[in-house]
Structure 1
Amino acid sequence: MTGCNMTSDVLNASSIKANGEAPSRRTTMLAHMGSLQQAAYVRPIEYREGRAHGLGAIEVKNGPLRFVSMSDKALDVCEFEYRGENLTFLSKPGLNGRNQFDTNGQEALRSIMGGLFFTCGFENICGPHTTPEGSQYPAGDYPMHGRIRTTPAEHVRADARWEDNEYVLEVCGEMREAELFGENMVLRRRITSRYGTASITVEDEVTNESFRSEPLMWMYHCNFGWPLLGEGAQVVIPSRKVTPRDEITAADTTVWHEIGAPVPNKPESVYIHELAADEQGHSFAAIVNRALGLGVVIDFNIKHFPHFMEWKSMGAGDYVVGLEPSNSSVYARQWHEQRGDLHMLAPQASERKTLTFTVIEGEAAIDALIARCDALLA
């Protein structure tokens, strides 16, 4: 049981009707509050200083859960907190709006800031790449992690409403990655959270609105930092097989799922996981911290994400773990081009993907997550 659920249970238990029937959540909340915004709201905001100056976003509060979706940057979630504790990673450049160097090769490292997740794709993920003329695939320069993450949203809608007995908080919009004589890919995104549950669900649909088949590389770069990430924290993944990305990772003597203290100038390690799943393809990845009594679980389907990578950076000042469900490999576009299996989306076709991020709280919830991992691997 999460703390958010406990809040709603206390409200329900404290207002029993004379006939012995418990009131609905809606009736109870309206009876206890003048404005529901003291417990939950969806609110457009704009940052006013530094690299984030002018960045438009939508702040969502759901009881003890708070997150921020950036309307100027693909509606990606940059801030994610529970009971005031930060759960995500923010890189050295800090919170960034859109910059001239966002999609300029390796210069993307100056604007990649982390957050709960940023969307990678759709022409490329991971390292920058150039496809030459004469290739079977569209030629061009493709920046690190692609362009969609810096694309501003249009047709943005933010809403808080009752659906029967559920108070639903919702952010929607669409992003278009397009070029004259080139691609025309539209991402339609909906992020929802329901009062009484410490979770958010991201529902995405990408449509190829051009008249040629287009590459569709698609990864969610999910990033966790201090204080959730600290000495003794643990990466929980039902991994059947783990492969180091490179020689540096292979030489790392630490265990992929254990989190130690920051080490000055320690290089990053990247692991490729083969995940176990249930009969329907449902699987997950998580970070848990028993000392803090918290964890974050990402639920997804491996049929939609046949590749999964773990980015583990224990370097001082770059202390982060990234969990990365993807439809493409960490070896990026050139690897798929050489193999001839770059994922393509036909003209006017669409693909959909869903992720759910859930905060778990307490020893029992963490133990249950470990048991779930063991059951998938059994």
Structure 2
Amino acid sequence: MKTKLALTVLAVMISGSAAAKTWVLTSAEQGVEQGNWKISSQQLKFQGKPFSIEQKVLHGGKQEGSKIITLTSKDGLTITLSPTRGMNLLHIEGFGSRIGWDSPVKEVVNPANINLESRNGLGWLEGFNEMMVRCGYEWTGHPVTADGRLYTLHGKAGNTPVSQVEVEVADAAPHEIRIRGLIKESTFKKADLQTLTELRYVPGSNSFSLHDVLTNHADYPHDYQIIYHSNVGTPILEEGARFIAPMSDISPFNDYAKTGLKNWQTYLGPTKGFDEMVFNIKPLSDDQHKTVAAVVNKQADKGVSIQFDTQQLPVLTLWKNTDTLKQGYVTGMEPGTSYAYPVTVEREQKRVKQLEPGASTAFDLTYTLLHNADQVAAVEKRISTIQGDTKLTETETPIASE
């Protein structure tokens, strides 16, 4: 009962909305599971931009039992996420474009069918096909064996079925929609980190936001890390597409990436034999600690931008994987508390953060699907303003080695 009350209070705190209708789709505590479910603006007799929200239980193959929630705005975005996979965002579509990519992994793989420790800690890749996956929170980064244990690739949050799912729709126009999920990383003697995720969307808009609150429920301090692994493929990613962001420093993740440092801002078309290149970025921000990064197509009339707070997420990783279309032609913009080095390296370099018992910390991001030249130009102008007179330093030597 106390857990339910705490979740309700926290949801109200992060929601901040007035009168609204709320549906509980999943509650491990109450034994609630709605399964297939749907609501629409027509059913609610709401005027304005039409929308629907639907949960489906998937069947067959490795996705047996996985759930997806699809928020459809007729004049805006269609957002698909998975409560079975840590509220990861699968893909976003709208305005003749999309945010997402085509992975060789086609199913929404149920974590029950993934062994994170396989392939020397790379089992995470067997389910990786999302537009955005939360890499954390107990740890993140490349796998490493330390402290008598294997830290698998990018932690466990993205492969954790959530314990609570709620859908909330504001009664008043423009009827903002909020979808919440509770991720529990609780292990006897090890950790009790819980993250209440919330996606916020106004029907008809070309942007949505995430507001996540991480809380340490243990009686002891605990480390945490998070990388918001946000991925873009075609049609935005193409030969001549560009990555843009205000930054003070960029460096290669490893020696292989050194060969691409001079061309870090532009992309190749699908290229057979291209291994992934990763770059570490120190982003600049405005007076409110806000910054923005974007990938835009060659014609500068399509793109996707991510706004985030550098006090919450102080570093940015650029992942370029312009392999063939079948192999996974994709790039990633990854705001985080850490770079993608193993947790041992991030500890040595003082980027691993810690939460005291009972303490919470929040992460706020806004994603925008840019669908015309004016929107792209506005983002470029904002980036230029934040950059100001600060000269970018291109550091040729990686800041660490695995």
Shorter-chain TM-score bucket reads 0.7 to 0.9
Counterpart residue number, 2:138: 123
TM-score, structure 1 normalization: 0.84
The CA distance in 1 between the partners of 2:262 and 2:340, in whole Å, is: 21
Please list the CA deviations of residues 297-348 of structure 1 after superposition, one character each: whole Å capped at 9, or x if unmatched: 1011111111111001111122111001111122230113334653211111
Q: Summarize the alignment of residues 266-345 of structure 1 with structure 2, pairs less than 5 Å apart.
A: 266-289=274-297, 291=299, 293-316=301-324, 317-339=327-349, 342-345=352-355
SS in 1 for 2:136: strand
Work out whether residues 119 and 220 of structure 1, in 8 Å CA contact, stay in contact via their aligned partners in 2: yes
Work out whether residues 202 and 356 of structure 1, in 8 Å CA contact, stay in contact via their aligned partners in 2: yes
Work out whether residues 43 and 158 of structure 1, in 8 Å CA contact, stay in contact via their aligned partners in 2: no
Letter in structure 2 aligned against 1:154: S
Letter in structure 1 aligned against 2:154: H
Q: Summarize the alignment of residues 74-113 of structure 1 with structure 2, pairs less than 5 Å apart.
A: 74-83=86-95, 85-95=97-107, 96-104=109-117, 105-113=121-129
Q: Among 141, 149, 153, which residue is 1:144 paired with? A: 153
Counterpart residue number, 1:209: 217
Q: Among 343, 361, 386, which residue is 1:351 paired with? A: 361
Work out whether residues 49 and 204 of structure 2, in 8 Å CA contact, stay in contact via their aligned partners in 1: no
Work out whether residues 102 and 328 of structure 2, in 8 Å CA contact, stay in contact via their aligned partners in 1: no
Query: How much has 1:35 moved relative to structure 2?
Result: 7.1
Relative distance call for 1:339 and 1:287 in structure 2 (3 A) is closer
Letter in structure 2 aligned against 1:125: T
Please list the CA deviations of residues 179-221 of structure 1 after superposition, one character each: whole Å capped at 9, or x if unmatched: 1222011000111101232111110001111111111011100
SS in 1 for 2:84: coil
Counterpart residue number, 2:78: 66
SS in 2 for 1:44: strand
Work out whether residues 99 and 369 of structure 2, in 8 Å CA contact, stay in contact via their aligned partners in 1: no
Relative distance call for 1:102 and 1:149 in structure 2 (3 A) is farther
Relative distance call for 1:69 and 1:187 in structure 2 (3 A) is same
TM-score, structure 2 normalization: 0.79
SS in 2 for 1:166: coil
SS in 1 for 2:339: coil
SS in 2 for 1:369: helix
SS in 2 for 1:167: coil
Query: How much has 1:232 moved relative to structure 2?
Result: 2.4
Work out whether residues 296 and 302 of structure 2, in 8 Å CA contact, stay in contact via their aligned partners in 1: yes
Work out whether residues 76 and 205 of structure 2, in 8 Å CA contact, stay in contact via their aligned partners in 1: no
Work out whether residues 98 and 369 of structure 2, in 8 Å CA contact, stay in contact via their aligned partners in 1: no
How many pairs were matched up?
A: 340
Cα RMSD for the two superposed structures? 2.2
SS in 1 for 2:178: strand
Q: How many percent identity over aligned positions?
A: 21
Relative distance call for 1:75 and 1:92 in structure 2 (3 A) is same
Relative distance call for 1:188 and 1:43 in structure 2 (3 A) is same
Q: Max radius of gyration: which structure?
A: 1
Unaligned runs of 5+ in 2: 1-40, 389-402
Unaligned runs of 5+ in 1: 1-29, 134-139
The CA distance in 2 between the partners of 1:363 and 1:275, in whole Å, is: 24
Work out whether residues 177 and 185 of structure 1, in 8 Å CA contact, stay in contact via their aligned partners in 2: yes
Work out whether residues 97 and 371 of structure 2, in 8 Å CA contact, stay in contact via their aligned partners in 1: no
**More displaced 10-residue stretch of structure 1: 225-234 or 339-348:** 339-348
